[in-house]
Structure 1
Amino acid sequence: MNDPLRLQPRSTVLVVDDTPDNLSLMSALLKDHYKVKVANHAEPGLRIANAEPPPDLILLDIMMPGIDGYEVCRRLKAEPRTRDIPVIFLTARSEVEDETHGLELGAADYITKPINPSIVLARVHAHLTLKAHADFLRDKSAYLESEIAKRTAEVQAIQDVTIMAMASLAETRDNETGAHIRRTQLYVRRLAEQLRDHPRFRAFLSERCIELLYKSAPLHDIGKVGIPDEILLKPGKLTPQEFEIMKGHTTLGRAAIEQAEQRLGMQVDFLTLAKEIAYSHQEKWDGSGYPEGLSGDAIPISARLMALADVYDALISKRVYKPAFPHEEAVRIVLEGRGRHFDPDVTDAFAAAAEDFRAIAAEHRDED
């Protein structure tokens, strides 16, 4: 396997020292091995360090007029663009406290003067090698993160398209529903946002949960694919026997999602919510709904939100058996269902967000 570090260009070493003789000495020592840049003061040294391309390593004197080496090191380590450049102090200060302070500031090494040329070269080489490895790993990590983000986005897009395709398949059975999927998706999210700080719902309606509800909502009527056309598209009132068959779309919907989950071989959060919504969105707060006649808090929160969103949209939409009601009439009917058909607090949230519902319905109208 090729060593990626061999592909690195010749390293650049910046020497910052206010003494001309020291600059000449270090330049002569390093020039056969590295590109050498010099600065006779802290400020030009900082400018070179922040320029493009930055140096690969900095040899830094401590005792300089104005800004000393310690302050230069502190500034280098405080800036994201220079903090990963290794700094080696090259100084006449030989006290342990001086060396400790330099290392605490983030310096990679500390060499006292007078220098031993072979020691300087060995340490410079060692730290440049460490930096090359660190840069390689950092670049590889950034590349992998980028690839993961890209693949995650691709999977997310495929997932979203699949959900919408499945939901649209159900809706094509009833060609008068049009943008029903999109509207109910937005209604559910708006209700959840309205309720997220409510004491009864705060623990459930996290930001992630609201996003999952939004993703799950289109599958609420997936079970319609199993209902015969003569019942689903009947323009008049259903007979009791026909209504019993129609009620089966909730069970069929949950079963379809469960089968998909079993084929996947793992539980997925949004499918758990999708099963709740598909199965229980026809339940009513007072227990008069179906398929189980659940009441009150026994009805999943996800299904309670969808129940109201679905009814409001059915009221404002034209169906084979009824004309579209105006927004005001739909709001009145929904509010009358408070405590009977709908959770009282969900109904209050709808009342507070009713104008947003009107705007969603207007933006996503059914095509004639």
Structure 2
Amino acid sequence: MESSRDTFVKDKKTVLIVDDTPDNLSLLHELLKDNYHVKAAVNGVIALNIINKGGIDIILLDVMMPEMDGYEVCRRVKADDEICDIPIIFLTAKTSIDDETMGFDLGAADYLSKPISPPLLLARVKTHLEIKASKDYLKNQNILLENEVKRRTQEVVNIQNVTITAMANLAETRDPETGFHIKRTQIYMKLLATQLSHKEHYREMLTPAYIEQLFTSAPLHDIGKVGISDSILLKPGKLTKEEFDTMKTHAYLGFKSLDTAEKHMDQSDTFLHIAKDIAHYHHEKWDGSGYPDGLVGEAIPLSARMMAIADVYDALISKRVYKDAMTHETALDIIKEGKGNHFDPELIEAFLEVEDDFYEVASKYRDEN
């Protein structure tokens, strides 16, 4: 059974004394040994080796030593993130204001003049160890709090992603041939956005955080299809004008449902803001001939312009109830023909720079797999 004395010994703090004079080391050891574990070093090099091994709670440091003086030892300790929190008390015969100022500027906790007053030394060591214990406690509490915030934030992100996936899958289950369409378009968006982020015109907007929001939002681009009847959505032949007009309403329906959801969140700067733009405008065309609002050029949100390319490419290389799948090369030709009328010319240039990556994604996530 562990005695109270054993616990006391185990809980003792460790003091490192650094002094090149053996008599000083002996004196300080005698003063401290009853209350602390005491380690000693006769120069700065040995002291740093001991400190770097860990377990030191406070350092009593002479200034004038051969090889490496106390100021340099202090400078190196405070420059190392692993050991910089150890309090240092300078013990020295150098008593000028400039010397004391230098010690405190280097990060020392205290400065005691030799010859040392034993009661004063013991009181200062005790005080600085208590201060360090308080700081360590607050630091640990902050770490625990930060970890808890990260955990809860991740929970929110996980719930958000699961909800998005569920909503997107709900829309996609209306069409049994779309398969991996959600995953493919999501990755296409990230590939295209990352490529654009290297270009000066887009670098400021397409930050890593924004690209991640695009990736998160992309699956919701066709959420409005939930509101389209099966007779139109799954029709194997060409749609009539009236049927196509009905089909086109899915863009507004998707926007409206996401807008309603965002209003319930009482926030406007959320991933749903991007999702709304994508859902609402990904069928707009660069020359103004798209729907639902006939927007022209950069009046179309960038997120929707990117989704237009990702969505069309995926539609071309995928089998649908009304068509067979096209080859990657045929899809490229059609998209290049749409440069400047259907698609933003700059975005097409970026797309062509990563078209091999698009093909790799399309091959990896083929619907028949």
TM-score of the superposition, structure 2-length normalised?
0.93
Give the partner amino acid of 1:178: G
Q: Deviations over 1:46-93 (max 9, x none)?
A: 22222232x111111122232222222222222222211111111222
1:31 alignment counterpart: 33
The runs of at least 4 consecutive aligned structure 1 residues that moved more than 4 Å come to: none
1:52 counterpart residue number: 54
Aligned to 2:11: 9
In structure 1, the residue corresponding to 2:11 is in which secondary structure?
Answer: coil
Cα gap change, 1:353/1:65 in structure 2, threshold over 3 Å: closer, same or farther? closer
Asked if the contact 1:261/1:268 (under 8 Å) is kept, the reply is no
1:252 match: 253
| Percentage of pairs with the same residue | 57
Q: In the alignment, which residue of structure 2 is the partner of 1:177?
A: 178
Label 1:69 to 1:199 Cα distance change in 2 as closer, same or farther (>3 A): closer
Deviation (angstroms), 1:112: 0.8
What are structure 1's unaligned runs of at least 5 residues?
1-5
1:186: Cα distance to partner?
1.3
Equivalent residue, structure 2, for 1:129 = 130
Deviation track 1:103-145 (CA, whole Å, cap 9, x = no partner) reads 2222111111111111111111111111111111111112222
1:237 matched to 2:238? The reply is yes
Distance 1:367 1:168 in 2: 17
* CA separation of 1:257 and 1:99: change in aligned 2, threshold 3 A: same
In the alignment, which residue of structure 1 is the partner of 2:104? 103
Range with bigger deviation, 348-357 or 209-218: 348-357
| Conservation of the 8 A alpha-carbon contact between 1:58 and 1:87 | yes
Count of residues paired in the alignment: 361
Q: Which moved more, 1:180-189 or 1:11-20?
A: 11-20
Give the drift of 1:200: 4.3
For the 8 Å contact 2:174–2:230, the answer to whether it is kept is yes
2:24 aligned residue: 22
Counterpart in 2 of 1:88? Answer: 89
Report how far residue 193 of structure 1 moved.
2.1
- Asked if the contact 2:61/2:90 (under 8 Å) is kept, the reply is yes
Aligned mates of 1:73, 1:198 — CA distance in 2? 46
Q: Which amino acid aligns with 2:175?
A: D
2:4 paired residue number = none
Please give the secondary structure, in 1, of the residue aligned with 2:90.
strand
Aligned to 1:113: 114
Deviation at 1:167, TM superposition (A): 0.6
The AA in structure 1 aligned to 2:265 is L
Rounded to whole Å, the distance in 2 between the matches of 1:42 and 1:350 is: 60
- Residue deviations 1:293-323, cap 9 Å, x none? 1122221111111111111111111010111
Unpaired segments of 5 or more residues in structure 2?
1-7
Distance 1:37 1:201, change over 3 A: closer
Q: Aligned partners of 2:121 and 2:202: how far apart in 1? A: 65
Question: Residue 40 of structure 1 aligns with which residue?
Answer: 42
Q: Whole-Å Cα distance in 1 between the matches of residues 112 and 38 of structure 2? A: 18
Measure the CA separation in 1 of the matches of 2:355 and 2:93: 76
Aligned to 2:213: 212
Q: Residue 39 of structure 2: SS of its match in structure 1?
A: strand
> What does residue 3 of structure 1 align with?
none
Q: Distance in 2 between matches of 1:168 and 1:158?
A: 15
Please give the residue correspondences for 1:316-355 in structure 2 after superposition, counting only pairs within 5 Å: 316-355=317-356
How far does residue 210 in structure 1 lie from its aligned partner after superposition? 1.7
Deviation (angstroms), 1:199: 4.8
Q: CA deviation at 1:360?
A: 1.1
Return the alpha-carbon distance in structure 2 between the equivalents of residues 104 and 178 of structure 1. Answer: 65
In the alignment, the residues of structure 2 paired with residue 287 and residue 40 of structure 1 have an alpha-carbon distance, to the nearest angstrom, of 81
Does the 8 Å contact 1:76/1:83 carry over to 2? yes
CA shift in 2, pair 1:125/1:358, >3 Å: same
Q: Quick check: 2:281–2:300 contact (8 Å CA) kept in 1?
A: yes
